[in-house]
Structure 1
Amino acid sequence: GSQGGGLSGRLPGLRPADPGEFTLRAFRRGKLDLTAAEGLGDLIRAETEAQRRQALRQMEGELGQLYQRWSDTLTQALAHLEAYIDFSEDDNVEEEVLSQVDDAVRALEREIGAHLRDGRRGELLRGGVRAVIAGPPNVGKSSLLNLLCRRPAAIVSPVAGTTRDVVEVALDIGGYPLVLSDTAGLRQTTDLVEREGVARARDRLCQADLVLAVLDASTVPPEPAGLGAALGALQPPPSTPCILVLNKADLLQGDGGPLRHGFAQGPPLPPTTLLSCKTGEGLDRLLELLARELARLCGDPLCGSPSLTQSRHSRHLGGCAAALARFGRERPRDLALAAEQLRLARRELGRITGHVGAEDVLDIIFRDFCVGK
């Protein structure tokens, strides 16, 4: 392979291809739209099975086809509206055309709104769910990180407050990508370096998609209210999903029955499990809870409508939705200004796929309305 590349570089008129050059050529020739090209890039970078499935689906054009269908709907609505503006005085275009445009735009607004409210599923799957291990000092947070990644990624010591900075590893859990961070123990401290570590832990906690809250099973109260209070002391963000890990189960007297009964019975606690990082007992149950939470956050990449995968898509779709909302406000006052909002909405969709054409509006006017016959 490398020999051939070296040879082609020495032949007159030949050179090695630049990164992404063939994909760029395929886009310019209309073989791929931008979303399919992005899907190909994601497929190359995919590290888990679910990421590969989502990237393949996007590369095969499903996301581009969805956005193209919306663009076609807007093109048709705009063509009908412009035909009404230009020709309604000649009685060539019926009044009901306007209500058809209104219905089409309202339906599209609802569909785009639902697509934007998908909980960032596609983006989470593409970039990895950011999970934070949080808890008081010396409960085994770094040991948990090492247990999950099967290697000593974090320093483990019986001295409280060992972790001073955020330690991050990328994992594949049940085919889903997890970016797991170990953080400093959350406590009041006078040590300046540890205090900075706690501040960074708090920042990371606020940005997390998922929290793994770790407490010491041998010291927490076994009743639900006490467990809830111990968890509340960590102050996890209220809207962020959480898994409660009661570590050091090997130090419990007996099988930890009262504790198990407490978290199984009580008022709403997050999914909770006993674990011993020392013996590995309870790891399978934790992995099962993690996989279930990741599947809920990312969704099944093969089911339902394809998810938007890039913040770029969200930005342009947000612009499109805002233009459609402005259309609703302008429509009773000024049809020409309303038509301009449809043009803007269509342009935002075109920026996602790379198709920002203008001439096809005219084609539809003359196809749907036999004007001047």
Structure 2
Amino acid sequence: MNRREANQLVGTAWLDSDYRTWWETRVMRRRVPLYRVGVAAVRALNAVTGGANRPSLKVTRWNRIGPHGGTFVMDKLETMTGRTDHPVTSRAELRARTSFASRLARAVSADEWPQIIAEHERRRRGERPQYRYVGHRPLNATSHALMDEAWVRGELPTDQYRAWNVLKHEDEGAFYSEFFTDGDARGYPGGETNPGFRRGRIMFDVSWREKASLAGERHVLRRSRILRAKELVKFFRTELKEAVRPPVSSPAQPLPAEPPTHHAVYTEPVVAAIADFTKPETLRSPTARGETTPDRKRASAIDLANTVAKALPPAVPARAVGAADQEAAADGQAGVVSSGVVEEGRSGFGEPPPGQARPPHGAQQSAHPPVARPPVPPGHSPRDAQSR
């Protein structure tokens, strides 16, 4: 296949082509020597800057979930001290846990360079690609559980979430994503804990599988270089400003007391049981495939969720009271209603359950008035009621 023919490939035809692998390997062969020099340079800079608590900038290995549900390791530079699962809440804390060199490495994404170096070595040994340049970023088990819970709560659209579950278990992970270059992924405060970030992740990943091409990958790589240049300028401006006036950590403010909410139904077994139906057929549990019945632990968790949901006080539905009702109320005959229509709540009932196919548009229009559905208890997702 020549370059002209490769430019005509779109979607999965491009993603699965041999030309894509050859093109990526050629790009890596040019860049890997520069990345090796860059890593050595930031390590040398780290040795002469920072205090005793500076990060080591050594290569660390992180577990990620790849195709077919398998687990593999991802190489990254250690650019921060302390617990990695503890979020940084201020600039003062960031400076305390990093050094000048490690902050510089984070600004230019040098902490990701060991991934590309390891992938190039893997391809030189003749092994199949584990990483691509552009696609979806592989997640760890905690991030997968976070996405599952977001879907169970009704935050993510079912069709896109099911498609995202398929591609993340069939396609290799990638260094860059279109969400990072064109979706302003770094602009969401809190990262993947932000609902907007999670929605953007699945929307860009799903759309990329449909429109992927050689021109698209070149665009993402060019955009990534532009973004790193902007981050580098921003980094030096911030460092110069904080060198004159170091940030001061503000005392932690107590969080306001929140009203009690019924979140007990979103336990890990319940989320796993419901989200299992959106996984690809080969990765579903025997229960989701209908081959076995739920085990006792999972069945007990689902029964408990149903019991809690039924025990909650139901919402009072709105009623349209006719003229005869008003006369009856005026005469003191409360409770006798001659005519009235219960308004059906539209919120939360627009999608079919995850395990069912969406009915055709014509089948959704009924000749008879819709039957009133029971109200959704407050504090619960409509998805939770539909999925059980």
Fold equivalence (TM over 0.5): no
Give the TM-score normalised by the residue count of structure 1.
0.21
- In our comparison, the structure showing a higher alpha carbon Rg is 1
Name the structure, 1 or 2, with higher relative contact order (CA <8 Å, separation 6+).
1
